[in-house]
A and B are shown apart, each in its own frame.
Chain A
Protein backbone atom coordinates (compact mmCIF):
# COMPACT_ATOMS: atom_id res chain seq x y z
CA UNK A 1 0.00 0.00 0.00
CA UNK A 2 1.37 3.38 -0.98
CA UNK A 3 1.06 6.24 1.44
CA UNK A 4 0.46 9.85 0.59
CA UNK A 5 3.44 11.05 2.62
CA UNK A 6 3.18 12.35 6.13
CA UNK A 7 1.19 15.40 7.01
CA UNK A 8 3.18 18.29 8.33
CA UNK A 9 4.17 18.13 11.95
CA UNK A 10 4.33 14.37 11.94
CA UNK A 11 6.24 12.35 14.46
CA UNK A 12 9.87 11.49 14.08
CA UNK A 13 9.50 7.78 13.43
CA UNK A 14 9.04 6.43 9.93
CA UNK A 15 5.62 5.12 8.97
CA UNK A 16 5.48 1.38 8.36
CA UNK A 17 4.50 -0.02 4.97
CA UNK A 18 1.31 -2.02 5.36
CA UNK A 19 -0.18 -4.54 2.95
CA UNK A 20 -3.76 -5.69 3.13
CA UNK A 21 -4.76 -9.20 2.11
CA UNK A 22 -8.29 -10.56 2.30
CA UNK A 23 -9.25 -14.12 3.15
CA UNK A 24 -12.67 -14.97 1.77
CA UNK A 25 -14.75 -18.09 1.39
CA UNK A 26 -17.92 -19.71 2.61
CA UNK A 27 -18.81 -20.37 6.24
CA UNK A 28 -16.55 -23.09 7.65
CA UNK A 29 -14.12 -23.03 4.72
CA UNK A 30 -11.22 -22.41 7.11
CA UNK A 31 -10.75 -18.61 7.03
CA UNK A 32 -10.18 -18.30 10.76
CA UNK A 33 -7.88 -21.34 10.71
CA UNK A 34 -5.73 -19.91 7.92
CA UNK A 35 -5.44 -16.48 9.52
CA UNK A 36 -4.55 -18.15 12.84
CA UNK A 37 -1.97 -20.55 11.46
CA UNK A 38 0.10 -17.95 9.63
CA UNK A 39 -0.32 -14.71 11.56
CA UNK A 40 -0.61 -13.20 14.97
CA UNK A 41 -4.36 -13.13 15.60
CA UNK A 42 -5.62 -9.87 17.02
CA UNK A 43 -9.03 -8.96 18.42
CA UNK A 44 -10.94 -6.52 16.24
CA UNK A 45 -14.46 -5.27 16.50
CA UNK A 46 -16.31 -3.34 13.88
CA UNK A 47 -19.82 -2.16 13.26
CA UNK A 48 -22.52 -4.15 11.59
CA UNK A 49 -25.52 -2.43 10.11
CA UNK A 50 -28.77 -3.59 11.60
CA UNK A 51 -30.58 -5.06 8.66
CA UNK A 52 -34.31 -5.47 8.26
CA UNK A 53 -34.53 -9.04 9.65
CA UNK A 54 -32.88 -8.04 12.92
CA UNK A 55 -34.81 -4.83 13.49
CA UNK A 56 -37.96 -6.32 15.07
CA UNK A 57 -36.00 -7.98 17.89
CA UNK A 58 -33.85 -4.97 18.69
CA UNK A 59 -35.66 -2.45 20.84
CA UNK A 60 -35.04 0.73 18.88
CA UNK A 61 -37.49 3.06 20.61
CA UNK A 62 -35.65 6.16 21.67
CA UNK A 63 -32.52 5.24 19.73
CA UNK A 64 -33.96 5.59 16.24
CA UNK A 65 -30.63 6.70 14.84
CA UNK A 66 -28.79 3.60 15.93
CA UNK A 67 -28.26 1.52 12.81
CA UNK A 68 -25.20 -0.50 13.77
CA UNK A 69 -24.12 -3.03 16.34
CA UNK A 70 -20.61 -4.34 16.88
CA UNK A 71 -19.23 -7.65 15.63
CA UNK A 72 -15.89 -9.42 15.94
CA UNK A 73 -13.77 -9.89 12.83
CA UNK A 74 -10.98 -12.27 11.84
CA UNK A 75 -7.89 -10.13 11.79
CA UNK A 76 -4.24 -11.10 11.87
CA UNK A 77 -0.90 -9.38 11.43
CA UNK A 78 2.42 -10.64 10.12
CA UNK A 79 5.41 -8.51 11.04
CA UNK A 80 8.02 -9.12 8.35
CA UNK A 81 10.07 -6.20 9.62
CA UNK A 82 9.25 -3.50 12.08
CA UNK A 83 8.29 -1.30 9.12
CA UNK A 84 6.84 -3.95 6.79
CA UNK A 85 3.55 -5.47 7.84
CA UNK A 86 0.94 -7.74 6.30
CA UNK A 87 -2.61 -7.48 7.56
CA UNK A 88 -4.99 -10.37 6.96
CA UNK A 89 -8.71 -9.76 7.11
CA UNK A 90 -11.24 -12.56 7.05
CA UNK A 91 -14.18 -11.30 5.02
CA UNK A 92 -17.36 -12.43 6.71
CA UNK A 93 -19.28 -14.71 4.38
CA UNK A 94 -22.84 -14.08 5.42
CA UNK A 95 -25.00 -11.84 3.31
CA UNK A 96 -25.55 -9.32 6.11
CA UNK A 97 -21.83 -8.47 6.05
CA UNK A 98 -21.61 -7.59 2.37
CA UNK A 99 -21.50 -3.88 3.13
CA UNK A 100 -18.09 -4.41 4.73
CA UNK A 101 -16.51 -5.93 1.67
CA UNK A 102 -16.02 -2.68 -0.22
CA UNK A 103 -14.10 -1.15 2.64
CA UNK A 104 -12.04 -4.30 3.10
CA UNK A 105 -11.29 -4.60 -0.63
CA UNK A 106 -10.32 -0.92 -0.91
CA UNK A 107 -6.59 -0.82 -1.56
CA UNK A 108 -6.08 -4.54 -0.92
CA UNK A 109 -3.13 -6.18 -2.65
CA UNK A 110 -5.28 -9.21 -3.27
CA UNK A 111 -7.50 -11.91 -1.89
CA UNK A 112 -7.39 -15.59 -1.08
CA UNK A 113 -10.63 -17.42 -1.78
CA UNK A 114 -10.73 -20.53 0.38
CA UNK A 115 -12.78 -23.29 -1.19
CA UNK A 116 -14.14 -26.41 0.44
CA UNK A 117 -14.76 -29.13 -2.16
CA UNK A 118 -17.78 -30.34 -0.19
CA UNK A 119 -19.41 -26.94 -0.64
CA UNK A 120 -17.80 -25.38 -3.69
CA UNK A 121 -20.76 -23.13 -4.44
CA UNK A 122 -20.17 -21.31 -1.13
CA UNK A 123 -17.05 -19.75 -2.65
CA UNK A 124 -18.80 -18.44 -5.78
CA UNK A 125 -19.94 -15.10 -4.32
CA UNK A 126 -16.35 -14.26 -3.35
CA UNK A 127 -15.00 -15.23 -6.78
CA UNK A 128 -17.67 -13.11 -8.48
CA UNK A 129 -16.97 -10.17 -6.21
CA UNK A 130 -13.20 -10.09 -6.77
CA UNK A 131 -13.57 -10.68 -10.52
CA UNK A 132 -15.97 -7.77 -10.83
CA UNK A 133 -13.82 -5.41 -8.74
CA UNK A 134 -10.59 -6.41 -10.45
CA UNK A 135 -9.02 -7.44 -7.14
CA UNK A 136 -6.22 -9.98 -7.79
CA UNK A 137 -7.15 -13.29 -6.18
CA UNK A 138 -6.18 -16.92 -6.03
CA UNK A 139 -8.25 -19.92 -5.04
CA UNK A 140 -6.88 -22.12 -2.26
CA UNK A 141 -8.67 -25.45 -1.93
CA UNK A 142 -8.62 -26.40 1.73
CA UNK A 143 -8.12 -30.16 1.96
CA UNK A 144 -10.06 -31.26 4.99
CA UNK A 145 -9.57 -34.67 6.52
CA UNK A 146 -11.96 -37.10 4.93
CA UNK A 147 -12.89 -34.69 2.15
CA UNK A 148 -12.77 -36.36 -1.21
CA UNK A 149 -9.69 -35.19 -3.10
CA UNK A 150 -10.43 -33.84 -6.52
CA UNK A 151 -8.03 -33.03 -9.30
CA UNK A 152 -7.37 -29.30 -9.53
CA UNK A 153 -8.52 -29.31 -13.15
CA UNK A 154 -11.91 -30.72 -12.13
CA UNK A 155 -12.37 -28.11 -9.39
CA UNK A 156 -11.37 -25.37 -11.81
CA UNK A 157 -13.96 -26.56 -14.30
CA UNK A 158 -16.60 -26.85 -11.57
CA UNK A 159 -15.84 -23.27 -10.49
CA UNK A 160 -15.70 -21.99 -14.07
CA UNK A 161 -12.50 -20.18 -13.16
CA UNK A 162 -10.45 -18.13 -15.62
CA UNK A 163 -7.21 -19.85 -16.65
CA UNK A 164 -5.06 -17.03 -15.31
CA UNK A 165 -6.38 -17.37 -11.75
CA UNK A 166 -3.98 -19.57 -9.77
CA UNK A 167 -5.44 -22.45 -7.82
CA UNK A 168 -3.56 -24.41 -5.18
CA UNK A 169 -4.33 -27.11 -2.65
CA UNK A 170 -3.67 -26.29 0.99
CA UNK A 171 -4.13 -27.38 4.56
CA UNK A 172 -5.12 -24.20 6.38
CA UNK A 173 -4.16 -25.76 9.74
CA UNK A 174 -0.52 -25.95 8.73
CA UNK A 175 1.54 -22.81 8.94
CA UNK A 176 3.86 -23.84 6.10
CA UNK A 177 0.89 -24.54 3.85
CA UNK A 178 -0.84 -21.22 4.67
CA UNK A 179 2.47 -19.46 4.02
CA UNK A 180 2.63 -21.01 0.55
CA UNK A 181 -0.87 -19.71 -0.11
CA UNK A 182 0.18 -16.17 0.82
CA UNK A 183 3.31 -16.40 -1.29
CA UNK A 184 1.26 -17.65 -4.26
CA UNK A 185 -1.05 -14.66 -3.91
CA UNK A 186 1.74 -12.07 -3.69
CA UNK A 187 3.52 -13.68 -6.66
CA UNK A 188 0.28 -13.55 -8.63
CA UNK A 189 -0.16 -9.87 -7.76
CA UNK A 190 3.44 -9.16 -8.79
CA UNK A 191 2.83 -10.86 -12.17
CA UNK A 192 -0.30 -8.77 -12.76
CA UNK A 193 1.42 -5.54 -11.76
CA UNK A 194 4.48 -6.32 -13.88
CA UNK A 195 2.27 -7.05 -16.88
CA UNK A 196 0.77 -3.57 -16.65
CA UNK A 197 4.04 -1.77 -15.87
Chain B
Protein backbone atom coordinates (compact mmCIF):
# COMPACT_ATOMS: atom_id res chain seq x y z
CA UNK B 1 0.00 0.00 0.00
CA UNK B 2 1.53 3.33 -1.00
CA UNK B 3 2.14 5.98 1.63
CA UNK B 4 -0.56 8.69 1.58
CA UNK B 5 1.83 11.28 0.15
CA UNK B 6 2.48 8.99 -2.83
CA UNK B 7 -1.15 8.93 -3.77
CA UNK B 8 -1.27 12.61 -4.75
CA UNK B 9 -1.65 13.01 -8.49
CA UNK B 10 1.66 14.03 -10.05
CA UNK B 11 2.23 16.09 -13.18
CA UNK B 12 1.96 13.03 -15.39
CA UNK B 13 -1.62 12.65 -14.29
CA UNK B 14 -2.41 15.95 -16.03
CA UNK B 15 -3.83 19.07 -14.47
CA UNK B 16 -5.86 18.58 -11.33
CA UNK B 17 -8.43 21.03 -12.67
CA UNK B 18 -9.25 20.21 -16.27
CA UNK B 19 -8.67 23.19 -18.61
CA UNK B 20 -12.32 23.63 -19.57
CA UNK B 21 -13.44 23.42 -15.96
CA UNK B 22 -11.53 26.68 -15.47
CA UNK B 23 -13.97 28.37 -17.84
CA UNK B 24 -16.96 26.34 -16.68
CA UNK B 25 -17.33 24.35 -19.85
CA UNK B 26 -17.63 27.35 -22.16
CA UNK B 27 -16.00 26.84 -25.52
CA UNK B 28 -16.43 30.26 -27.10
CA UNK B 29 -16.55 33.78 -25.77
CA UNK B 30 -19.85 35.62 -25.88
CA UNK B 31 -20.42 37.70 -29.01
CA UNK B 32 -16.72 38.18 -29.74
CA UNK B 33 -14.94 37.64 -32.98
CA UNK B 34 -12.09 35.24 -32.36
CA UNK B 35 -9.05 36.96 -30.93
CA UNK B 36 -6.10 36.77 -33.26
CA UNK B 37 -3.17 34.60 -32.13
CA UNK B 38 -1.04 37.71 -32.06
CA UNK B 39 -3.61 40.06 -30.53
CA UNK B 40 -1.83 42.10 -27.87
CA UNK B 41 -3.51 42.16 -24.48
CA UNK B 42 -2.78 44.96 -22.06
CA UNK B 43 -4.01 45.50 -18.54
CA UNK B 44 -5.89 48.72 -17.87
CA UNK B 45 -5.57 50.61 -14.62
CA UNK B 46 -9.10 49.83 -13.62
CA UNK B 47 -9.26 47.97 -10.30
CA UNK B 48 -11.30 44.74 -10.35
CA UNK B 49 -14.48 45.57 -8.43
CA UNK B 50 -16.57 42.40 -8.66
CA UNK B 51 -13.86 40.08 -7.43
CA UNK B 52 -16.20 37.17 -6.84
CA UNK B 53 -16.74 36.65 -10.54
CA UNK B 54 -13.03 36.28 -11.25
CA UNK B 55 -11.07 33.04 -10.98
CA UNK B 56 -7.39 32.60 -10.04
CA UNK B 57 -6.57 32.22 -13.75
CA UNK B 58 -8.05 35.67 -14.42
CA UNK B 59 -5.71 37.15 -11.85
CA UNK B 60 -2.73 35.27 -13.30
CA UNK B 61 -3.63 36.77 -16.69
CA UNK B 62 -3.91 40.26 -15.23
CA UNK B 63 -0.46 39.93 -13.69
CA UNK B 64 1.03 38.81 -17.00
CA UNK B 65 -0.47 41.54 -19.14
CA UNK B 66 0.75 44.47 -17.06
CA UNK B 67 3.23 44.37 -19.91
CA UNK B 68 1.46 44.22 -23.33
CA UNK B 69 1.53 40.51 -24.20
CA UNK B 70 0.32 38.48 -27.16
CA UNK B 71 -2.46 35.93 -26.81
CA UNK B 72 -0.13 33.04 -27.70
CA UNK B 73 2.41 34.10 -25.10
CA UNK B 74 -0.31 34.28 -22.45
CA UNK B 75 -1.48 30.76 -23.34
CA UNK B 76 2.10 29.55 -23.22
CA UNK B 77 2.92 31.27 -19.92
CA UNK B 78 -0.24 29.97 -18.25
CA UNK B 79 0.10 26.56 -19.90
CA UNK B 80 -3.58 26.65 -20.82
CA UNK B 81 -5.03 25.83 -24.26
CA UNK B 82 -5.51 28.82 -26.57
CA UNK B 83 -9.29 28.47 -26.55
CA UNK B 84 -9.41 28.69 -22.77
CA UNK B 85 -7.24 31.81 -22.71
CA UNK B 86 -9.40 33.43 -25.41
CA UNK B 87 -12.40 33.09 -23.13
CA UNK B 88 -10.56 34.32 -20.03
CA UNK B 89 -9.36 37.38 -21.97
CA UNK B 90 -12.89 38.06 -23.22
CA UNK B 91 -14.11 37.94 -19.60
CA UNK B 92 -11.50 40.47 -18.51
CA UNK B 93 -12.29 42.70 -21.48
CA UNK B 94 -15.97 42.64 -20.54
CA UNK B 95 -14.97 43.91 -17.08
CA UNK B 96 -12.82 46.64 -18.68
CA UNK B 97 -9.74 45.18 -17.05
CA UNK B 98 -7.79 44.64 -20.28
CA UNK B 99 -7.67 46.15 -23.74
CA UNK B 100 -7.12 44.14 -26.87
CA UNK B 101 -5.10 45.36 -29.82
CA UNK B 102 -6.08 43.19 -32.77
CA UNK B 103 -3.75 43.11 -35.77
CA UNK B 104 -5.26 44.57 -38.92
CA UNK B 105 -4.62 42.55 -42.02
CA UNK B 106 -3.09 45.19 -44.22
CA UNK B 107 -0.75 44.28 -47.03
CA UNK B 108 2.42 45.28 -45.16
CA UNK B 109 3.16 48.21 -47.50
CA UNK B 110 3.39 50.58 -44.58
CA UNK B 111 5.68 48.21 -42.74
CA UNK B 112 8.59 48.05 -45.17
CA UNK B 113 10.93 49.94 -42.83
CA UNK B 114 10.10 47.52 -40.02
CA UNK B 115 10.62 44.50 -42.26
CA UNK B 116 14.06 45.82 -43.18
CA UNK B 117 14.75 46.21 -39.47
CA UNK B 118 13.70 42.59 -39.04
CA UNK B 119 16.20 41.44 -41.68
CA UNK B 120 19.00 43.38 -40.00
CA UNK B 121 17.92 42.09 -36.60
CA UNK B 122 18.03 38.49 -37.83
CA UNK B 123 21.49 39.00 -39.29
CA UNK B 124 22.71 40.20 -35.90
CA UNK B 125 21.29 37.21 -34.02
- Please report the total number of A residues contacting B with Cβ < 8 Å: 56
Q: Is the CB of B42 within 8 A of A10?
A: yes
Taking a contact as CB atoms closer than 8 A, the residue among A13, A16, A75 that contacts B76 in the complex is A75
Structural contact, B119 and A190, CB atoms closer than 8 A: yes
Task: Check B109 against A15 for contact (C-beta < 8 Å).
Answer: no
Interface size range on B against A: 35 or more
Q: Which segment of B5-13, B52-60, B79-87 sits at the interface?
A: B79-87
Contact check, A80 vs B103: say whether CB atoms are below 8 A apart. Answer: no
Whether B115 pairs with A186 at a CB distance below 8 angstroms is yes
B67 touches A47 (CB 8 A): no
Chain B residues contacting A183 (CB-CB under 8 Å) are: 119, 122-123
Instruction: Report whether B83 and A68 are in contact in the complex, using a CB–CB cutoff of 8 Å.
Output: yes
C-beta contact mask, A48-64 vs B, less than 8 Å → 1, else 0? 00000000000000000
Closest to B83 in A: A47
Whether B80 pairs with A45 at a CB distance below 8 angstroms is yes
- Across the interface, do A1 and B27 meet the contact criterion of CB distance under 8 Å? no
Interface stretch of the complex, out of A90-98, A103-111, A147-155: A103-111
Compute how far the CA of A107 lies from the CA of B71 in the bound complex, rounded to whole angstroms: 15
Does A179 count as interface, using CB distance less than 8 angstroms? yes
Q: Determine how close the nearest CB of chain A comes to the CB of B47; give it in whole angstroms.
A: 13
25 contacts between A and B (CB under 8 A): A3-B101, A7-B99, A8-B99, A11-B45, A11-B99, A18-B40, A42-B76, A44-B76, A44-B82, A45-B75, A45-B79, A47-B81, A68-B83, A70-B19, A80-B118, A84-B118, A87-B38, A107-B36, A107-B38, A179-B123, A183-B123, A186-B118, A190-B115, A190-B116, A197-B112
